[in-house]
Amino acid sequence: AAGVIQSPRHLIKEKRETATLKCYPIPRHDTVYWYQQGPGQDPQFLISFYEKMQSDKGSIPDRFSAQQFSDYHSELNMSSLELGDSALYFCASSLGLPWGQGVSPLHFGNGTRLTVT
Amino acid sequence: AQKITQTQPGMFVQEKEAVTLDCTYDTSDPSYGLFWYKQPSSGEMIFLIYQGSYDQQNATEGRYSLNFQKARKSANLVISASQLGDSAMYFCAMREGSDTGNQFYFGTGTSLTVIP
């Protein structure tokens, strides 16, 4: 079965540089999420999109932005990178079900490990 | 208030024994879903099991089962016949079904070590 595809797997950047992470959700999944996971931490929600529109915003810094395109893939753009941005970045997708019809699980990609030096 | 609480930072279990990982949640939404994820040292997040708030029976998936106690707001993961490959971080998560947003809330995780 198709899974969530993230690229690149690893990324090394210097401080103040920019980075773009890409995510291809599972086909027919209409909701995409971005999470940031620091070493030894639980995943922190950054932002989500439902049907290509931003649906929820978490602890995403102003230096970061994200969008979802017409083909449902999503990109997380990170500018003015800081050492503290070094983390594992996950994209996940799910199927948004109408209320009362249950809740679809999140399916995660393998993550992008960003190292800022 | 924390939506998901996992009180066991680390757990050890002997190979072939069963282990229970605790999870309590906080919501006033009547419709919600509870999830468990496994994160091995390689980093990927693997979906294990799901329990819906309206489900009458506890969810089971192979060696994984979810001990769902709605009145206590707990959703403990039970792993039977532990294997060395079960050593990993385990995260409990929740999504509220009527939430206008789409957030999944994660606990802080439990690190499970299976001892040979």
Does A50 contact B50 at a Cβ distance shorter than 8 Å? no
Confidence of residue B90 (pLDDT cuts 50, 70, 90): very high
A2 and B CB contact within 8 Å: no
Q: Which range (A93-107, B36-50, B65-79) has the least confidence? A: A93-107
pLDDT at A38: 93
pLDDT at B6 over 70: yes
A12 and B CB contact within 8 Å: no
pLDDT at B95: 86
Plot region of A42 (φ>0 → left; ψ -120 to 50 → alpha; else → beta) = beta
Confidence of residue B101 (pLDDT cuts 50, 70, 90): low
B35 and A CB contact within 8 Å: yes
**What is the chain B residue with the closest CA to A31?**
B102
pLDDT at A101: 58
Tell me which of B6, B7, B94, B102 to substitute to probe the interface with A (most A C-beta atoms closer than 10 Å): B102
Does A42 contact B109 at a Cβ distance shorter than 8 Å? yes
pLDDT at B110: 97
pLDDT at B102 over 90: no
| Omega prior to A8 cis, within 30 of 0 | yes
pLDDT at A95: 81
Termini Cα distance of chain B: 38
Average pLDDT of the segment spanning A50-68 = 91
Average pLDDT of the segment spanning A13-35 = 94
Considering chain A, what is the average pLDDT of its residues?
A: 91
Average pLDDT of the segment spanning A63-89 = 96
Confidence of residue B30 (pLDDT cuts 50, 70, 90): confident
d(CA B87, CA B40) in angstroms, rounded, equals: 7
pLDDT in tens, A90-110: 999 988 765 555 667 889 999
pLDDT at A111: 95
The residues near A4 (Cβ < 8 Å, ≥ 6 apart) are A23, A24, A25, A26, A91, A92, A93, A107, A108, A109
pLDDT at A100: 53
pLDDT at B98: 62
Q: Which range (A2-16, A62-76, B84-98) has the least confidence? A: B84-98
Closest partner residue to B43 (CB to CB) among A42, A94, A111 is A111
**What's the token pair of residue B107?**
């606990």
